[in-house]
Structure 1
């Protein structure tokens, strides 16, 4: 059984004291594929170091996170563009719109999101979407960019069944993580109505740890709790869900 974590911030400062041990815990449980989203240029070197340390397991994305779209966002977008032109990445992400922390930057968040979608199309790459309190705004941009070469993952999907179908209509897989185990997460109430071919697993470590670790630091090995919950919802062995979702990740990332 191979398990794929399609979204994990292994370079986070939260892991500075035990990063290698934390990764080993995951590898020991057959979680052997880690897709690493970018935040901004200050983390690029740490991402490269991770890749050097774990070349067979770590696969990098490049992008500007919406909460880091600030006054210098054009410089940051130039960094993303330069990096994509210089070397291999497996997705453009994480990108999107976040209206939880700061609604005043909506216009430049939309601009940065659209620009990075176009970069992804140019390089024939998937996108990894971050959406927080911004489904309508995200869908508005996706509607203007929809095409056969728009595809990717709707990271940390927490929407309704209708929103799930809308995301899928834009060639997006749904990234399912710890929220599926939350009593108030709600997506567990309808997720089994979504075919597993549309789903990938993720942790978003060090954030959003699943039950029974909720509120603590998340790490990639906890994806097993997500797998167990999906096994319960779909009434299917965990190994089968791991196989299907890993194949879905291969279809997206082409590796």
Structure 2
């Protein structure tokens, strides 16, 4: 069984003490494809080292995370442009809008999001969207920028069924992870109404660990708990969940 984790921050310092062991558990669990989102330029060297250490399993994205859109965001975007021109990446991400932590940066978050969507179009790459308390703002920009060749993943989807359909209408897959296993996660209540062809798996490790690890450090091997939950929801085998979601990830990233 080949499982794809479409979103893991394996370069995080949360793994500095035991990254090799975490990776071995991941591979032993059948999770052999790991897509790594960027945050800002301070993490680039760690990401490149991770790719060097695990070239058959690690696939990198490049982008500026919305919570790291600060006064210097134009310099950060220049770094994104430079990296995309000099190295192979599989998506522009994670990008988007986050109004949970700081609403005062909305205008520059919107600008950074728009610019990175345009960059993805120019580079013919998918986008991976981070959205927190900002569905309306995200959808407004997606509506402005929509195009037949613009596609990607709505990472860590936690919206309503209506918002799920709207995200899908913009050629986005829904990134489903640990939240689907939470009692108060809500998405498990309507997920079956979404065709599996629109779903990809993710962990967002070291964050959002699924039950029974909720509140602890997440890791890619725990995606098995998400596979199990989706198998229950869709009433199909875990193998089928793994197969379909991995094929969906290939459709997004081209590999």
Bin for the TM-score computed over the shorter chain: over 0.9
Deviation at 1:63, TM superposition (A): 0.1
Q: Does 1:93 align with 2:93?
A: yes
Q: Does 1:13 align with 2:49?
A: no
Q: Does 1:107 align with 2:107?
A: yes
TM-score (norm 2): 1.00
SS in 2 for 1:35: strand
SS in 1 for 2:174: strand
Partner residue in 1 for 2:24: 24
Q: Does 1:173 align with 2:173?
A: yes
Question: RMSD in angstroms over aligned alpha carbons?
Answer: 0.3
Aligned-partner Cα distance in 1 for 2:29–2:86 = 34
SS in 2 for 1:131: strand
Aligned-partner Cα distance in 2 for 1:131–1:194 = 19
Aligned-partner Cα distance in 1 for 2:107–2:241 = 39
Deviation at 1:127, TM superposition (A): 0.3
TM-score (norm 1): 1.00
Aligned-partner Cα distance in 1 for 2:213–2:30 = 20
Aligned-partner Cα distance in 1 for 2:140–2:78 = 24
Q: Does 1:69 align with 2:73?
A: no
Tell me the matched-pair count.
255
Partner residue in 2 for 1:44: 44
Aligned-partner Cα distance in 1 for 2:34–2:58 = 5
Partner residue in 2 for 1:130: 130
Partner residue in 1 for 2:233: 233
SS in 1 for 2:39: coil
Partner residue in 1 for 2:157: 157
- Runs in 1 of length 4+ with deviation above 3 angstroms? none
